[in-house]
Amino acid sequence: MLFHTPEFILFLLCTLGLYYCLPKYRIYIIALADILFYMVGGAGLLFLFIIITTATYLLSRGLHGSGKKLYLIIGIVINVANLVFFKYSIFLLSNLEKLISAQIISHTPYITNLVMPIGISFYTFQFIAYLVDIYKGKTEPAPNLLSFWVFMSFFPHRVAGPIMRGKDLIPQIERIAKITFNSSQFKLGLAFLAMGLIKKIFLADYIAIYANRFFDQGTALTGSQAWIGALLFTFQIYYDFSAYSEMAVGIAYLFGIKLDLNFKTPYLSGNPSEFWRRWHITLSTWIRDYIYIPLGGSRRGEYRKYLHLFIAMAISGLWHGAAWTFVVWGIYHGLLLILHNLYTKFLNHYNWEKITSYWFYKVLTVLVMFNLANIGWVFFRADNLGLAYHMVASMLTTNPLFFDVSLYQYVLVILALYSLHVVEYWLRKNYTPIYTMWERRVPAPLRALVYTALIAALVIFAPTQQNSFIYFRF
C-alpha cells in the first residue's frame, strides 16, 4: 500500500480516528493496522513475517541467561538465513553456475518463483540490532509479544525504514495509551507528510521519466548524455527515498510517535564521512554499530581500519540488492572513505587543516563530493556492470565538455533541483521562526486557501500511474 494513494489515505484516516477515540485500545488498533497494511503484499508473506517476529521475540527472552550467546547466534542465523534465501538465492546460484559451468537454477524452478517479502532487508537489520542490543545490555526486551510486534511492524516505517532501535521506539509503544493529542506535533506530522508527497509526486516521479530515457539508451550514451542521466537519477533517488522517509516520520507524528530522520540534505556534504552522516542515516549508523565496530573499527591500527571500512561498505552495497552493481557501488564508497581518511591525515601532517575553514574551500569540497556521489549512483542505477563502466568512462572523457544544444534544458532543470536542495536545507535550519511567522502573520483564511490549493495540486498533477518507491525493492 503506497503512501501517496487514496486507499492509504482512507486507511490512515480510519486508523487515526479509532486511535484517538479509543485510547485504551491503541496498541491493539495499531497491531491490527500493521497486519492489514502488511497483508496487502500477500497473506503468505504476512505469515512468514509473523513467524520470524515470534521466533526473534522468543529467542530475545533468553538473552539474559547463561546460554545467551547461543540464543544470539541462533537469532542472527535465522534472520540472515531468511534474508539470504529470499533475496540472494538466485544471485548466489547464478554466480555458482558460472563458476562451475553447470546448470543449477533450471533444476530448482521454485527458486525463480520466490517473491521477496516486503521490507525484508529493513526488518532483518532491525531484528539483528534488537538482539545484539539486548545481549550487550543496551536495551531491555519488549515486555510482551504484542509490544514487540508493534515495534517491528509499525506500518509507517516497516517497508523502507527508518531502521529503529528498541531503546528508542519500544518505550514509546509501552506508553502509547497515555499519549495525548498534541496540535503542534500533529501539524509537524502533516508538514512532513506534505513535504514527502510534494517530493514524490512533483519531483521524483517526473524526474524518473527522463532519467529512465537516458539509462535506457545504454552504451549509445555520449559523455554529456551520461552526465545528464546520472545527475537526473542522483536527484530522483534522493527525492524519492527522502520522500518516503519523511512521510513515515510525518505519519508517526500523527500518532504521537517519533521516528528517526533518515536524510539531512546530503548533497551539501563536503566529504564522504559527512555524506554518510546525512544520507540514509539509520542504515549508516547500523553499519557502523553492528559491522564496522564489531570488526574492530579503528582500534586495531590504521590499515585494519581501512580494511574494516572497505568490508563494511561492501556489505552495505550488497544489502541494497543482489547484483554486482550494488557491491561495486558499496566498494566505491568504501574507497572514498579510505581516501578521505588519508587526505585528512595528509592535511594534519603538514598543518594545512586551516585551509578547511575558508568558505571557498567548503564550496569546492561540496561540489567535488556531489560529483563523486553522482558517479557512484551510476553503478547503483545501471542494469549491469558493462553499462555502468561505459557511462563512467564516457563521463570522465572530454566529451562532456561539449553539450548538444538540446541538453541545456536539462542543465537548467538540474540547477533548479540543486537549488531546491539548498532551499530545503534553509527551511530545515529555520523551521521554527518560519512556522511562527506563518502562524502569526498570515491570516487563517489565507492559510486555509494555501492548504486547499496544495491538496488540489497534489490531486491534479499526480501521475495517472502510481509509481512505487525505489527502496521498496530492497
Catalytic residue at 157?
A: no
Q: Which three cell numbers stand for residue 305?
A: 581500519
Going by C-beta distance under 8 Å and a sequence separation of 6 or more, which residues neighbour residue 61? Answer: 141
Of 323, 281, 282, 288, the residue nearest 309 (C-alpha): 288
Buried b (16+ CB within 10 A) or exposed e, 50-65: eebbebbbebbebbee
**17: phi then psi, degrees, rounded to nearest 5:** -60, -50
Q: Which of 394, 406, 376, 382 is nearest to 220 (CA)?
A: 394
Burial of 242 (0-12, 13-18, 19+ CB in 10 A): buried
How many CB atoms are located within 10 Å of the residue 70 CB? 13
The residue annotated as part of the active site, out of 320, 333, 340, 390, is 320
State the DSSP code for 61.
T
Q: Is 161 left (phi over 0), alpha (psi -120 to 50) or beta?
A: left
Strand ranges for 280-321 from DSSP E: none
Non-local (6+) Cβ contacts of 127 within 8 A are 52, 53, 56, 75, 79, 152
27: nearest Cα among 131, 179, 159, 136: 179
Distant-in-sequence, close-in-space partners of 119: CB < 8 Å, separation ≥ 6: 158, 159, 160
CA–CA separation, 259 and 159 (whole Å): 14
Which DSSP category does 369 fall into? H
Residue with cell 552522516: 277
- Determine the residue type at 372: L
Residue whose grid cell is 477515540: 21
Please check whether residue 54 is in contact with residue 142, taking contact to mean a CB–CB distance below 8 angstroms. no
Q: Is 26 in contact with 177 (CB distance < 8 Å)?
A: yes
Count of other CB atoms within 10 angstroms of residue 397: 11
Long-range contacts of 331-334 (CB under 8 A, 24+ apart): 332/375, 332/376, 332/379, 333/272, 333/276, 333/376, 334/309, 334/310
> Residue 203 has what DSSP assignment?
I
Residues annotated as part of the active site: 320
